[in-house]
A and B are shown apart, each in its own frame.
Chain A
Amino acid sequence: MSRPELIERRAEWPVQLRLEPLPAEDVDSLIPARIGEALREQIARAAGGNPLFVGEMLAMAGDGDGEMVVPPTLQALLAARLDQLEAAKRTVLECGAIEGEVFHRGAVRALATGEAAVTPRLAALTRKQLIAPDKAQIRGEDGFRFRHLLIRDAAYDALPKAARADVHARFAGWLEEHGTAVVELDELLGYHLEQAVRHRGELGLEDAELAAAARERLSTAGRRALSRLDFDSAARLLERAAALAPASEVDLALETDLIDALTGTEIEQALGRARSLSERSAASDDRVGQLCGRIHEAVLRISVKPAGAADALEALVLEALPVFEAAGDELALRIAYRALGSVANMRAHMDQMAVAYEQAAAYAAPARGTALVGYQGHARFPRLDSAHRAAHLA
């Protein structure tokens, strides 16, 4: 039923015909073949079996395969439904929307401050077909799902930015306490803290502590993805983490892991990030960071433009090592010795390669980014490039 609120307004109507959501195959048949796979999935998911929603979204989609845009007509329709809710019910719905398409009663209780009757409000929202009970993702909790993703988005969009920032941050606090068994806890916490930072930033409010917490969570999640060789996810998470660093700060461990992740996905982007690291470090008179950026770039050059690259890299590392030793920077030393391992690898100098990687591993303190576990073993093979190393880490 596209507009269940009409039943409430027109109690005198003699007949009620309740329609269940269309099955997935019927929704699919409503979407023309010209619509690409990605957009097709977005429309089907957002429509939740509602043919009106499918039709409206198709009208906006045209022939392209870009991002789904919710049509103003549909936004107005959904906003109108939410406007008719009592303030308390609406607050409960908005608090649920902060968590996402699926949310939990306990979270709403924690977020809807001053609202004592959360359970009856949720029951009422269920009767109004805005939400439905669903499997909880947190043990001991009751789960709910928005009947349509678009309803969730409409509820979320109705919140002012300041309120969104506040509720995202408070939800992160609740999740940290109750979601310890959630597999992707760091990703989720990072996301909610990041959203809080973003909304506050749009209001001109900076919160360094919140940004640092978001960065820490996203970095942890990114490093975990990197360790399982999921380079795409790692790059996305680490890029988001890096974007939360203050403009004046260069987080060398994070930058190094991000470059490693990008190397596994798009080497030109990895080169760009290495150059950027060097430039940003130079701008803040950080000689160690600048040299590390140049070393990262030179290592990547071995892959993309190998002629003379190993000699250039070796010369650069020999220039950098005294600087790193004087600074006592173990992470920089690790980067330098790993680079020497690449040089030796190129020349098939296996013993030198083993020594270099062992030295690098000696500096691979767990607190400072991803360790180089397993690298030194590769000296037993005649020629292993970064891709082979990555596969060996698997």
Chain B
Amino acid sequence: MTVLAMLGRIAEARALLGELRAEVIERGALTLHAAIEGYARYIELLAGDLVAAAAAGETGCRLDEELGHSSELSTIAGSLARVYSDLGQLEEAERWASRAAELSSSDDASTQMLWRDAEALVEAHRGQHARAERLAREAVRIGEQTEALNAQAETYADLGEVLALAGRHRRRPRPSKRPWPATRRRRLS
């Protein structure tokens, strides 16, 4: 279903997701349900529906909290923070970024990148450009030590956005409430 979404066949991906979600809810399989919400978030990001992506992220966080899966919770919280920053809901973004930072392990590379990127964008929107740039560059450095190419690309893109918001650009920065570009691929987690 994620492949379908990557191919732009969003309706089919959503239909499959709906069937799968209904089945795991009926089974009462919380672990699988949490995983399904991860896929839902990803599909909605590709579809450009940030509100739906945030809703899936919130559900995923609630389930992982319930299951006691701190590591998974930290990653989804970081991802959710990043979605809220794109929605321009800075307080929510900050809240989830803090939660991700608090729960994550220092060697959890993906989460370390996610919460820094989210917080960097929040700070940039508030005019705290120096702190924003520091966080975004830290995320880039962490990404460069990994082999997660999509995640690396995201950190570069987010650093670019932070710099643009600080006025260090040649073109106008994109508005924070922009629709999700169909060509941009988010990290899965």
Contacts and interface: CB of A to CB of B under 8 A. Distances in A.
B72 A382 contact: no
Interface of A is mostly: helix
A306 B105 contact: yes
Interface string A70-94: 0000000000000000000000000
Interface in B136-166: 146-148, 150-151
Interface stretch (A99-107, A131-139, A154-162, A264-272): A264-272
Contacts of B187: 382-383
Interface in B102-128: 103-111
Contacts of B20: 394
Contacts of A263: 31
Nearest to B79: A383
A387 B76 CA distance: 12
A385 B72 contact: yes
Interface in A349-365: 349-352
Interface string B4-21: 000000000000000010
A336 interface: no
Contact of B110 (A229, A231, A383, A387): A383
A346 B31 contact: no
Nearest to B29: A231
A31 interface: no
B148 A306 contact: no
A387 B69 contact: yes
B181 interface: no
A352 B27 CA distance: 35
B109 A387 contact: no
Interface in B33-52: 34-36, 38-39
Given A306-B71, A307-B106, A346-B105, A382 B31 contact: no
Contacts of A306: 70-71, 74, 103-105, 108
Contacts of A267: 67-69
Given A382-B189, A387-B34, A387-B69, A311 B27 contact: no
Contacts, number: 117
B72 A303 contact: yes
Interface in B61-86: 67-72, 74-75
Given A232-B29, A310-B105, A346-B108, A382 B150 contact: yes
A302 interface: yes
- What's the interface size class on A, roughly? 35 or more
A229 B106 CA distance: 31
B80 to A, nearest CB: 14
Contacts of A351: 147
B175 interface: no
B147 A350 contact: yes
A307 B31 CA distance: 21
A197 B110 CA distance: 51
B32 interface: yes
A303 B75 CA distance: 11
A51 to B, nearest CB: 33
A229 B20 CA distance: 12
B146 A387 contact: no
A346 B104 CA distance: 11
B81 to A, nearest CB: 15
A305 interface: yes
A383 B75 contact: yes
A248 to B, nearest CB: 33
